[in-house]
Structure 1
């Protein structure tokens, strides 16, 4: 992998990740005239829950579902400059022009998986998926070292049903100035489990799922993918490494080598869930990593969460009263049935 860093016209950082170590990546200047970068969003504390909420009003002006010929994530062309000045790229990462977090409140980055506007992550070759994994890992290391960053979150939103505003295949990375509520809760549970049993919670969960077997969707020598017993979403999968590690940086070479093919297989299964001719399945794909520094950091277990809001053809799972107001999810699809459908969705 070759990494080349440069700057966009307004000073934001742009990094190219090329698969070949000897790739020739000539510096291409961003000749656009851009407005000043927006002020940082504000992090406010909810006194009743003790959770952070980000207020970022400038995001109201972000680009929203432009036509393909105006996509800001495609390579630049003569007379049509974009966020990527180069004429082509493998993987590109840059600071978000409309960030929820910036400056002292953190950082937001965009990860472009390919320069092909009409592709999807599921359509990538394993080698390209491996390069994306390498970019996620590198950005986790770089962002974790920034002052004030408490947690790094790599994720992909796909589909307008999820709220995606750009169709080009891409994901994002948030560097939070606080530990997110979900992660904090998992760490609390892991600490309590250790105190009660002397064992690690994540290891016990994965072991129990493997023994039960009903919700296991796919396995390799180094990863296990299963539908959680208490899945919140109609179709939800967690992917855990067999050797528990706190974050992407700690994965060994064998786990890194096996992951891309498993990841692509799961994404393709999601696209087969609702039958031939169905529109692409909307999903969220999220890496859960340990915070940069935390008393119970070593108890955390890195895992990937993949879920869709589509519960049946033409039907979505909406977060209504119980979910939105009380954070109590009601799932219409039994996890065992979801796992069975995902197993059957494997390629022939």
Structure 2
């Protein structure tokens, strides 16, 4: 299958998607402003695991994923063996069997969640079930280095189109919650340095998102509070705010959210899409300038779980794990054992610092 479909547009430019079926059965989607119509090169066909299992933690009241096959996932390959690079004739086989692309999304070879996850074994006193869902890799650029800032505004807008396309597809496939995210830097466990993120589609709504949905249902309103939080503002563009929440758990934590309530980025106006894409890059730039390096962070996109669209307010949340230039924020014993974070930098001071970058 190599169908090319027009899925929308950004400004005056059409956005195209090509669906390519890999020999091992996984799907690869190429997104571009130009039609992705190159000829595919040879690919591998190794067996692919179909996810793991979920086990219920009776004290934390949450499901956790167990996927032992992930122990053998790709670990810090050389640039010559980069699996996220475009393939070249006679070169190493990569996950993307084309000589060029703009944005690529494909099923994770070392997936935790899978639509055909197997039934788990029975364990006395433990509730378990198949880890149904989806795990996808999102490659931002064919270049082996870069960031959400350096890829530029046009590529960030294309990335947003790809995210929205995958939101729609994964919800249609039965996922209850869909989260695009990025882990950046070795301090957060990144083993592939090529600029990329991931998307997880969950069969069950995770505990954090259940609690967020309940808070919005109970009347918590970012739309009402944002005008009162000017002290915590970092930047603003296109009706989208970047701010350090007063209740941040990480030093220099920044959220992006439209000033009006929208359940997910699929409901952004054109202006909000431009503003959100700009701020994704701008926050990354400010972090790197302040910390004096490629900042290690976690970025998570929190859109409405299925059925919660009427009250949920979308946020994208950056969690840098540096508390100062050259100093890592470690999650130590008390924080791990209780879930109570100790924050070393006041959010209002973090906002002032990042505004100045």
Q: TM-score normalised to the size of structure 1?
A: 0.91
* 3-state secondary structure, aligned to 2:273: helix
Q: CA RMSD in A?
A: 1.4
Indicate conservation of the 8 Å contact 1:19/1:128, yes or no. no
Q: 1:197 aligns to what? A: none
Aligned counterpart, 1:305 = 317
Q: Which of 42, 49, 53 pairs up with 2:64?
A: 53
Structure 1 residue 27: Cα displacement: 4.2
Q: 1:24 to 1:248 in 2, by over 3 A?
A: closer
Give me the whole-angstrom Cα distance separating, in 2, the residues matched to 1:339 and 1:3.
38
| Offset, 1:24 | 4.9
Inter-partner Cα distance in structure 2 for 1:60 and 1:218:
40
Q: 1:28 aligns with which of 40, 43, 62?
A: 40
Match of 2:273 among 252, 256, 268: 256
The equivalences for 1:1-348 within 5 A come to: 1-20=15-34, 23-29=35-41, 31-77=42-88, 78-104=90-116, 105-147=132-174, 149-192=175-218, 194=219, 200-209=220-229, 213-274=230-291, 278-294=292-308, 297-345=309-357
Q: TM-score, normalised by structure 2?
A: 0.88
- Work out whether residues 6 and 27 of structure 1, in 8 Å CA contact, stay in contact via their aligned partners in 2: no
Distance, in Å, in 2 between the alignment partners of 1:288 and 1:40 is 23
Point out 4+ residue stretches in structure 1 off by more than 4 angstroms: none
Q: Which runs of 5+ in 2 are unaligned?
A: 1-14, 117-131
CA contact (8 A) 2:236 2:275 kept: no
1:258–1:39 CA distance, 2 compared to 1 (3 A)? closer
Deviation at 1:39, TM superposition (A): 3.2
CA contact (8 A) 2:26 2:107 kept: yes
Of 179-188 and 107-116, more deviation after overlay is shown by 179-188
The alignment partner of 1:287 has SS state of strand
**1:252-291 C-alpha deviation (Å, 9 max, x unpaired):** 22211222222211110010112xxx33111111111110
Structure number having the greater helix percentage: 1
How many residue pairs align between the two structures?
327
Contact kept? 1:107, 1:175, Cα under 8 Å: yes
Give the CA deviation at 1:190: 1.9
- Write the distance in 2 (CA, Å) between the matches of 1:251 and 1:79: 41
